[in-house]
Amino acid sequence: MSKKQKRTLCRILASAALLILAALLPLEGWVRLAVFLLPYAVIGWDVLWRAVRNIAHGQIFDENFLMALATVGALWVGEFPEAVFVMLFYQVGELFQSYAVDQSRKSISSLMDIRPDWANLEEDGQLRQVDPEEVSVGDIILVKAGERIPLDGTVTEGASTLDTAALTGESLPRSVQPGDGVVSGCVNLSGLLRVRVTKPFEESTVSKILDLVENSTAKKAKAENFITKFARYYTPAVVLAAAVLALAPPLFLGWEWEDAVTRALNFLVVSCPCALVISVPLSFFGGIGGASKQGILVKGGSYLEVLARTETVVFDKTGTLTKGVFQVTAIHPEQWPEETLLELAALAESYSDHPISRSLKEAYGTPLELERVSDVEELSGRGVRAAVDGKIICAGNDKLMEELGVRWHPCHRVGTTVHVAVDGTYAGHIIISDQVKEDAGQAVAALKALGVKQTVMLTGDAAAVGESVAAGLGLDQVYTQLLPADKVERVEALLGELSPRGSLAFVGDGINDAPVLSRADIGIAMGALGSDAAIEAADVVLMDDKPSKLADAIAIARRTLGIVRQNIVFALGVKALVLILSALGISTMWEAVFADVGVSVIAILNSMRALKTKSAGVQAADAG
């Protein structure tokens, strides 16, 4: 509890004690008013001050004005205990709100702890602690055991395990050794590491995540915007209605002034929109905070709202449902030795960083003689063309061979087939296989348990490869041999099949998926630890490589929206009932207090449930 919250609690306790004492004293008239003014001043001076200050700035119709008007009016008609009690309960509600917001903020701010305070810069054999922003690309930094890695880089010396929990929500440490990349924000658990910096601080993973988290509340959901607009018109309307209720009956119906004013004051207390104005944004804030604890970064409440309505989930294959770690599993030459076919393919792919290109180079094993390669041309979605030793080497998929007019033949092995043509003649093919992620099948099953109507996979691989993976995972549809533009067209077609309120989520690794991520209703980048493209392109970022986190994200979004709806229905229902009873003179100030502060406290406590997250499997069971 903060110092401000502790001071408020002390004021509440002091005012409550003075209220009890004042109620027990047998006093009348002005003396009784003066005694009750003491606990009222202790608990309500700040509300009165804010009301006066806001009126001076032209902001009249807010909750401070309503509380001030209602309680001062209650004092005026002689309801002294009720006036103090209304203000007391209002401050109790404010304390609950403050505590709830702090809890939500802490869950998000736990990510803010990843910001490093310093970097150990190594210069001329000496160590110097500097601000991470002062470190340049190429500098060597030392990261000791127990320290947080301050900048993205590559390990040059040392081996250790890293705690990535603050970024991914996973407790299992990750091992690193020389040559491995490391990202800022992780904690070095054991050995001493020397790291060569590869990005300046402002472009590092930690900096991008901090920027995302700090701005996550900027994009409000429709429900939040509705409540903001609702309060803007609702509050003046109820003040006007209360004024009519206080003046019209005595003037035209012969009511007693005191009775009419009392009903109007009760009406004012009930009408304060605190429960909605506080609880709805707090619910979205809590949902974003709860997701962040699971390593799921949501860029705003509006994305939670869209995610909750997901009907169709479209997956990219490589790096999303599969590990993206390709290995050469077969070499089938037509007229060349296996070693020569692999060498030509590796040389042709030597300038590419695509996972398939890396697997060819790794399989070749020996350092490539790049001076033998020239005129390299990347052919999007098809392969590569290059000159090697004066020969034109084309390496790619079936579409590339057909473009070239080269007669090729399929392979009986399941995997990605890289065909190789030399000077327009078919030279053979190489089979590269990718492994399906361990929890990919579990992820698809969890999505179906949550009621997702359709799961689809898009891939540029051959039909045999894509269909084999899709069948093994239980996906509903698979589309193969797609170019990047084809994926966008396929997503647009799937968007046309949605129900009016349904949404489509596209899940990719964020490397080559930016066009599709932006075209879907909501783009989700998975395995984004260290990937700038993913963090920038997607609406939701899953920081680790587990597809099952997608089901967790949808479950959290749906639970958050459920809590928002509960608060809206409950608050409006109770307020409408007590407003009618107040206008009819049936309810008293005590019922009015419950309808305002009591409903606010209950709604706030309900909103705090959004902070608590469970696995998608448990949530699906709860829903069933």
Give the strand pairing for 454-458 and 477-479.
parallel
E strand segments, 337-466: 373-379, 383-388, 391-396, 416-422, 425-433, 454-458
Our answer to whether residue 316 is catalytic in this structure is yes
Q: How far apart are CA 457 and CA 452, in angstroms?
A: 14
Burial zone of 624 (CB within 10 Å; 0-12 exposed, 13-18 middle, 19+ buried): exposed
Q: How far is CA 194 from the centre of its chain?
A: 33
Say if residues 287 and 78 touch (Cβ distance below 8 Å): no
Angle at 575 between CA 571 and CA 577, to 5 degrees: 125
- 487: nearest Cα among 528, 449, 459: 459
What number of helices (H) and strands (E) belong to the chain?
22, 22
The DSSP code for 54 is: H
Q: On the CB side of 234, how many CA atoms lie within 13 Å of its CA? A: 20
Give the strand pairing for 193-197 and 153-157.
antiparallel
Q: How far apart are CA 583 and CA 265, in angstroms?
A: 10
Tokens representing residue 462 in the block: 């051959």
Q: How far apart are CA 598 and CA 602, in angstroms?
A: 6
Q: How far apart are CA 417 and CA 271, in angstroms?
A: 69
Q: How far apart are CA 67 and CA 112, in angstroms?
A: 36
Q: How far apart are CA 103 and CA 106, in angstroms?
A: 5
Written as one string, the DSSP assignment of 579-602 is HHHHHTT-S-HHHHHIIIIIHHHH
Question: Choosing from 152, 163, 316, 539, which is the catalytic residue?
Answer: 316
Q: How far apart are CA 37 and CA 373, in angstroms?
A: 90
Helix (H, G, I), strand (E, B) or coil at 173: coil
Tokens representing residue 545 in the block: 């490589």
Helix (H, G, I), strand (E, B) or coil at 122: strand
Give me the residues paired with residue 418 across strands. Answer: 430
Write b or e for each residue in 588-602: b if 16 or more Cβ atoms lie within 10 A of its Cβ, otherwise e. ebbbbbbbbbbbbbb
Active site residues: 316
